[in-house]
């Protein structure tokens, strides 16, 4: 049996009502954006995909506080010959309930490329890492992670196939990209690590 560690819990407000996304194996899936505030006051706007049966039992309305549990997933989409890595939350449970905002992620998987260490203009240490987090049926989700400070230093010394366990949050980040049509505003999603542990080399 495959070792799988991929858990996320979010609690936030619906940006809009769920909208039909796609159908797979006779099941209908809906997509919605959950706005989850940070302590700083910034808001992460996170895409969630849920099977219709999970939503049929609810009365979700725009502005309602929603708790979602599930996994962070990735999907490669090709548009005009260009491949894009889409990151989203695949829900296993959706509940309408009040409470404090929650954004909690636990992941474990091997690095699928060499980590990149850099410094911000103010000298803060950052490490970018890409984990191949195992999924059922010998598949994997490729999830970008960002680490800070001492944790960034430690992971920057790792190599491809080293297994990393990360606890953090899923965050959204708006950036500007220069395209053939001019400057376009886009959103990137990544896991910002609070803690990270080097588990074992070549485990998977």
Give the closest residue to 134 by CA, choosing from 71, 42, 77: 71
Q: What is the pLDDT of residues 10-47, one digit of tens each?
A: 999 999 889 999 999 999 999 999 999 999 999 999 99
Four-CA torsion 80, 83, 84, 85, nearest 10 degrees: 160
State percent of the chain over pLDDT 70: 93
Q: Tell me how far apart the alpha carbons of residues 2 and 142 are, in angstroms, rounded to a whole number.
A: 16
Q: Where are the domains of the chain?
A: 5-103, 106-201
Q: 5-103 and 106-201 share one CATH topology?
A: yes
Tokens (6 digits) for 165: 């366990």
Q: For every residue of the chain, which 3-state class applies, written as one string?
A: CCCCEEEEEEEEEECCCCEEEEEECCEEEEEEEEEEECCCCCEEEEEEEEEHHHHHCCCCCCCCEEEEEEEEEEEEEEECCEEEEEEEEEEEEEEECCCCCEEEEEEEEEECCCCEEEECCCCCEEEEEEEEEEECCCEEEEEEEEEEHHHHHHHHCCCCCEEEEEEEEEEEEEEEEEECCEEEEEEEEEEEEEEEEEEEECCC
145 near 18, Cβ under 8 Å? no
Residue 185 has pLDDT above 90, yes or no: no
Q: Which of 15-29, 61-75, 135-149 has the lowest mean pLDDT?
A: 61-75
**Which fold does the domain 5-103 belong to in CATH?**
OB fold (Dihydrolipoamide Acetyltransferase, E2P) (2.40.50)
In this structure, the strands spanning 5-14 and 65-79 are antiparallel
Give the closest residue to 130 by CA, choosing from 118, 120, 148, 142: 142
Q: What is the pLDDT of residues 93-134, one digit of tens each?
A: 999 988 999 999 999 999 999 999 999 889 999 999 999 999
pTM summary value: 0.90
pLDDT band at 80 (very low <50, low <70, confident <90, very high): low
Q: Tell me how far apart the alpha carbons of residues 63 and 67 are, in angstroms, rounded to a whole number.
A: 13
CATH for 106-201, options being 3.40.50.720, 1.10.3720.10, 2.40.50.140, 3.30.70.980: 2.40.50.140
């Amino acid at each position: 049996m495959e070792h799988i560690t991929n858990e996320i819990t979010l609690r936030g407000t619906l940006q809009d009502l769920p909208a039909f996304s796609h159908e797979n194996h006779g099941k209908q899936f809906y997509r919605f954006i959950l706005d989850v505030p940070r302590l700083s006051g910034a808001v992460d706007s996170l895409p969630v995909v849920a099977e219709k049966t999970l939503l049929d039992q609810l009365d979700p309305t725009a502005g309602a506080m929603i708790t979602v549990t599930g996994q962070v997933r990735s999907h490669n989409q090709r548009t005009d010959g260009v491949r894009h890595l889409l990151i989203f939350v695949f829900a296993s449970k959706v509940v309408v309930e009040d409470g404090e905002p929650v954004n909690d992620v636990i992941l474990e998987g091997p690095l699928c490329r060499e980590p990149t260490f850099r410094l911000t203009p103010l000298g803060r240490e950052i490490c970018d890492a890409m984990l191949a987090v195992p999924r059922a049926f010998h598949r994997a989700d490729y999830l970008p992670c960002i680490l800070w400070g001492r944790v960034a230093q430690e992971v920057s010394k790792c190599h491809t196939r080293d297994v990393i366990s990360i606890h953090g949050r899923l965050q959204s980040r708006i950036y500007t990209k220069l395209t053939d049509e001019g400057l376009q505003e886009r959103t990137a999603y990544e896991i910002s690590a609070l803690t990270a542990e080097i588990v074992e080399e070549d485990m998977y």
